[in-house]
Amino acid sequence: MHSVISAATILLLTALIPGVDATLSVTIGSTVGGVLGLIILILDIVAIFELVTSSGRDLFSKVIWVLIILLFPIGGLILYWCCARSGSGHQDI
């Protein structure tokens, strides 16, 4: 009985302190955002590696594409996969 009263007192005190979440719940949004961020990071690294190892471009265009991908991770990745890959000599089998 004493532990129940102590737990209730602690929860009540933490509820009174601003900025402290008394429920101690984990938000789903931060987990989903972390997973999506990790996927985007991996896809950016794959695109940059493919771009750097390709032989169909000069150094200046490679640097520009790497900067676009790094500055705009989602938009740069979409632009690279749609625009830059089509003219780099890749052929689908």
CB atoms within 10 A of CB 65: 22
Q: In this structure, is residue 45 part of a structural domain?
A: yes
Q: In this structure, is residue 22 part of a structural domain?
A: no
- The gap from C-alpha 46 to its chain's centroid, in whole angstroms, comes to 14
Q: In this structure, is residue 69 part of a structural domain?
A: yes
Q: How many domains does the chain have?
A: 1
Q: In this structure, is residue 63 part of a structural domain?
A: yes
Q: What is the mean pLDDT of the chain?
A: 75
Average pLDDT (45-63) is 90
Q: In this structure, is residue 76 part of a structural domain?
A: yes
Domain that holds residue 80: 27-84
pLDDT at 57 over 90: no
Helices 59-71 + 28-53 axis angle, to 10: 180
Q: In this structure, is residue 90 part of a structural domain?
A: no
56-60, 67-71, 78-82: least confident range: 56-60
DSSP state of 83: I
Residue scoring higher pLDDT (82 or 18): 82
